């Protein structure tokens, strides 16, 4: 957890799980898991989706919380013209 940042509360359902390297289950115990994200910080995912007029992208609180500020990547810190 990043120091000084509040935790991100995610709610979801495990949809599938598989060994990372089939045939080596006892070697490392690592799994790949697919999770359907249902809520973030108590809000449903659809509630957090919006279109950002300045950067011309569809964005959500889930993306912001997990990936960080994509706007920095999308426009190098400046809104699209």
Summarised one tens digit per residue, pLDDT across range 57-81 is 888 888 888 777 776 666 555 555 5
- The percentage of residues in the chain with a pLDDT greater than 90, rounded to a whole number, is 26
45 contacts 38 by C-beta, under 8 angstroms? yes
Indicate the pTM of the whole model.
Answer: 0.60
Is residue 3 situated within a structural domain? no
Answer whether residue 24 is part of any domain.
yes
Domains identified in the chain, total number: 1
67 domain residue, yes or no:
yes
Instruction: Encode 2-29: b = buried (16+ Cβ within 10 Å), e = exposed.
Output: eeeeeeeeeeeeeeeeeeeeeeeeeeee
Instruction: Residue 61: give the domain boundaries.
Output: 10-75
Q: 37-49, pLDDT tens digit by residue?
A: 999 999 999 999 9
């Amino acid at each position: 957890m990043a120091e000084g940042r509040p935790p991100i509360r995610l709610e979801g359902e495990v949809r599938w799980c598989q060994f990372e390297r089939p045939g080596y289950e006892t070697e490392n115990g690592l799994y790949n898991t697919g999770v359907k994200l249902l809520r973030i910080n108590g809000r449903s995912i659809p509630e957090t989706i919006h279109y950002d007029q300045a950067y011309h992208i569809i964005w959500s609180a889930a993306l912001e919380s997990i990936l960080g500020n994509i706007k920095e990547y999308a426009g190098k810190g400046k809104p699209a013209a």
